[in-house]
Structure 1
Amino acid sequence: MHKLLTASLMFVCCATAWAADAGRVVFVTGKAQLASKPAALDAVVQEGDDIVTGNDGYVYIKTVDNGFFILRPNSSAKVTAYHIDSANPANTRVKLELTNGVARAISGQGVKAARQNFRFNTPVAAIGVRGTDFIVFTDQHTSRVSVVSGGVVMAGFGGSCTAEGVGPCEGGASRELFAGQAGLLQIQRGQPVPQLLNNPALSPDQNEKPRSDEPVGKVAAVPLQGAQVNLDPQRELAVGNVRTTTNNPPGDGGADDGGNIVTTPPVIEVKPEPVVPLPPKPQEIFWGRWSTVAGDVNRPASFAGKEMDSETFVGEYMMGRVKGAPLVMPKEGTAAFTLANSEAFIVRNGRESVASVNSGSLGVNFENRTFTTALVVADAASNFAVNGRGTIDMKGLMVNDAASASTIRGYLSGAQAEEAAYIFRNTPRSGITVIGGTTWKK
């Protein structure tokens, strides 16, 4: 028994040591619990901690990277992960969960430096950030998000978007919302894509209203060079009318007539971030049919002036990835890509006609480094299915397997393998060949 008790105590100690600090409580009022204990001012919030508020409870948490996580009344949330690596933002992992109620998230510097590694989950949706300061309402069937500054991307769970994932779910089933746009995003369980609604009555602020001291965006009339945003509690201000749930006998020092300690909430000002459109990402994968360029008949016109570090061929099509293009292959998860560009031809007994790719899908499993794809290629006379599957090596080269109906060669590219492209050739029946190229985005 003594050994068992010792082992148990060691396990608890180690589990506590492993949990990283996510932030601290800078304001609390009403009924609120943190990790199954009454929430208290200056309490440390760790990874894995649950936060629950009663019908009069508010909790403001300042995160370790100078962001904020705010919970309003009748809400339940969890800090699933909060690991900030300032030296290597690629290692940052931040994941928050709201299972019920209303919460507000204001991104800290660590999140802003690694937005691709931030995830805010509800029971029905995944929310990623582009900035950001946003407010979420959710119950078990419906989630809504409004944006104060910056922007968000929202997607319902399903397909490659899972609650276990890291970072935003992007693609055809997601939708973005920025502070400059009117309205809010809403998704209900089972809906394929979030809806953009312009109905103030559905705002998360109407479900659980903010306190008057909740952060507000304020812009100075004259921008101040080097001005700093004040995110710390101001404890030397005059006493206000905010009451905590700690009771003292009437007449004690620091208590009002109702027997409640009177404290002052933190003064928090958050400057809204300007919405600046991101510059278009440079294209990294090129493909085309052979043509004469500077005397080289084996390079497509699209390759002119570009130095390639890798090239592949299918029939008269050639594909290459520019030298120095980044590629980071995720080691887990799956992704669905959306067709962004295509070109196709159908050759019948030597006579060629221009065709179009009417629909397409590309799925990648990063854990076992495989892909599956399907296209419908059509011209005025007929249409043909082009299906294939294959493997992806650690350099991002996509090659069909022996059992695939089509010949496919392609590449993945990008800091999160967010771009893909391949060239293909298929012979659906004797005398007919379908050829072409495709580009895909997450």
Structure 2
Amino acid sequence: MLRRLILVCSVAVAAQVHAAEAGKVIFTAGASHIADRAAAEGAPVNEGDLLTTGDDGYLYVKTVDNGLFVLRPNTKAKIVTYQVDSKNPANTHVKLELISGVARSKSGDAVKLARQNFRFNTPVAAIGVRGTDFTVHTDADTSRVSVLTGRVIVTGFGGACTPEGGGPCEGATSRELSAAQRGQLLQIKRGQPAPQLMSSVTNSPDQVSPPRGDEPLAKASTNSDPAIDAKKTDSLDKIVARPPVTAPPVVDNVPPPITTPSAPQREIQWGRWVQVLNQPANIAFSVPDGAERLFQGPFMIVRTAGEDYVTPERGSVAFNLKGSEAYIFSDDPTKSAVAAAVKNGTLSFDFDKATFNTGFDLVSGSETFKMTSTGTVTSDGHFNTSNDSLFTLKSNTDVSGVLSNQNGGSAAYLFQRRLDDTRTTQGVTFWSR
């Protein structure tokens, strides 16, 4: 009897040790549950817990490595495994399971270092990542996957690809989808040999169950073509200014000293690379060697080739809004975009803390939306909304921009935000001292 009791206790303790904390709830609305208890902000989510939402339920989980797992209404899912080894990423293993409904997965820091050990299962397929931020809708027989940033690989179960496995399944029947393939998704049905690439106009996960207006947005990407990045780096290496070369003294018939001119200041250009509301594009999508670009939706920012920008390490600075363009887009493809105005803008940087803060009013007709964002600044003058500010809802707008020494100091950023269940806004702003 004593031996049996010890064995039972040992099994119970082992189960508790195994069920490690995978994350915490950072937001919940409507009917949502963790295992058999109602979900609440700050509540832990352990490995193996069944997560469920009702007709009006939303559940946002921040994983232990700063990833994001979102469940929308009428969804069942599990964080099957979330074992993080920061010292040896090869020992990190993460496995998520979507049983039914719509869920979004944004890779955390550990997953980005151990993509080979990440698996997202549906009833019919295994999903691996190359990044990544993606959304899935599934029932018992059909799964559809769309990508917000990065790239996924999708494989139907069969042969060596089984639900019990870990990491991505890769083979002849696997298919990849990247964020660059806008307006498309991968669909896989039970028994189908390979996923099918198809239009996402009518059946994307976001259309089946739209995100709330406060769901953190995906980061805007810089150049999506790796070859462009490589070319940009190579070009920058070639334009570094050399020290002056002077001629020897006391030599007749020697030409004057030769100097290499300094590289010019990098300037900011901004605009639309596609037509919107019959307004033609006003900036070319292709850029010269050495320039860099950020683009999001119809908008793009270019920082021209020139002297490397170095972010100050001390002090603070405020900018004035000099130009902008924005539109509100409906999820209904039959409805046209609506122009919006950016007013009362503020943008400031605290270089001691390497942070920025911005806000403005987005005005369209009788509607006014208060847009705010805070985030971090890198040493080369890039600034982005921080994950923490989105997770904690301190920011309601996703921002991605660059700084320049142009005309004594300038900045520009792209922004996007979901305004409500049916509308999203995107825009671009330009600022100077």
1:231 and 2:232 aligned: no
Label 1:2 to 1:38 Cα distance change in 2 as closer, same or farther (>3 A): farther
1:230 offset after TM fit, Å? 2.5
Structure 2: distance between partners of 1:189 and 1:21: 32
For the pair 1:70 / 2:70, whether they are aligned, the reply is: yes
Q: How does 1:211-226 map to 2 (within 5 A)?
A: 211-219=212-220, 224-225=377-378
Contact 2:149 2:219 in 1 (8 A): no
Instruction: State the 1:231 CA deviation.
Output: 2.7
Q: Match for residue 189 of structure 1?
A: 190
- Quick one: distance in 2 between partners of 1:234 and 1:80? 25
Contact 2:131 2:150 in 1 (8 A): yes
What is residue 423 of structure 1 aligned with on the other side? Answer: none
State the structure with more CA Rg. 1
Correspondence for 1:412? none
Residues 106 and 266 from structure 1, CA distance in 2 versus in 1: closer, same or farther, beyond 3 angstroms? Answer: farther
Distance 1:58 1:21, change over 3 A: same
Instruction: Give 2:143's aligned residue.
Output: 143
1:129 pairs with 2:129? yes
Counterpart position of 1:105: 105
How far does the alpha carbon of each residue in 1:33-52 deviate from its partner, in whole angstroms, 9 at most, with x for none? 10221111111111111101
Paired position in structure 1 for 2:53 = 53
Deviation track 1:301-337 (CA, whole Å, cap 9, x = no partner) reads: xxxxxxxxxxxxxxxxxxxxxxxxxxxxxxxxxxxxx
Q: Segments of 4+ in structure 1 off by > 6 A? A: 1-6, 268-272
CA distance in 1: counterparts of 2:85 and 2:397, whole angstroms: 25
Retained in 2: the 8 A contact 1:232–1:267? no
Question: Deviation digits for residues 43-65 of structure 1, max 9, x if unmatched?
Answer: 11111111010011101000111
Structure 2 Cα separation of the partners of residues 218 and 209 of structure 1: 18
Asked if the contact 2:137–2:205 (Cα under 8 Å) also holds between the matched residues in 1, the reply is yes
1:199 CA drift (Å): 3.4
5 Å-filtered alignment, 1:275-424, equals none
| Cα contact 1:31–1:53 (8 A) shared by 2 | yes
Give 2:166's aligned residue. Answer: 166
Q: What does residue 95 of structure 1 align with?
A: 95
Contact 1:128 1:168 in 2 (8 A): yes
Partner SS for 1:16:
helix
Alpha-carbon distance in structure 2 between the residues aligned to 1:9 and 1:229: 47
Aligned to 2:431: none
Quick one: which amino acid aligns to residue 188 of structure 2?
Answer: I
- Aligned AA (1:148): L
Q: Secondary structure at the match of 1:201?
A: coil
Do the aligned partners of residues 22 and 268 (structure 1) sit closer, same or farther apart at CA in structure 2, a change above 3 Å counting?
A: farther
Judged with a 3 Å threshold, the aligned counterparts in structure 2 of structure 1 residues 40 and 266 are, in CA distance, closer, same or farther, namely: farther
Three-state SS of the structure 2 residue aligned to 1:15 is helix
Q: Give the conservation status (yes or no) of the 8 Å contact 2:125–2:188.
A: yes
Distance apart, 1:25 and its partner CA: 0.5
- Structure 1 residue matching 2:73: 3-state secondary structure: coil
CA contact (8 A) 1:26 1:266 kept: no
CA drift of 1:215 comes to 1.4
Which has a greater percent of strand?
1
Unaligned runs of 5+ in 2: 221-293, 295-300, 304-376, 401-433
How far 1:196 sits from its partner (Å)? 0.3
Structure 1 residue aligned with 2:297: none
Q: Distance in 2 between matches of 1:35 and 1:269?
A: 32
1:206 aligns with 2:362: no
After superposition, the Cα gap between the structure-2 partners of 1:217 and 1:18, relative to the gap in structure 1 and judged at 3 Å, is closer
Matching residue of 1:84: 84
- Give the AA of the match of 1:124: V
Deviation at 1:266, TM superposition (A): 6.2
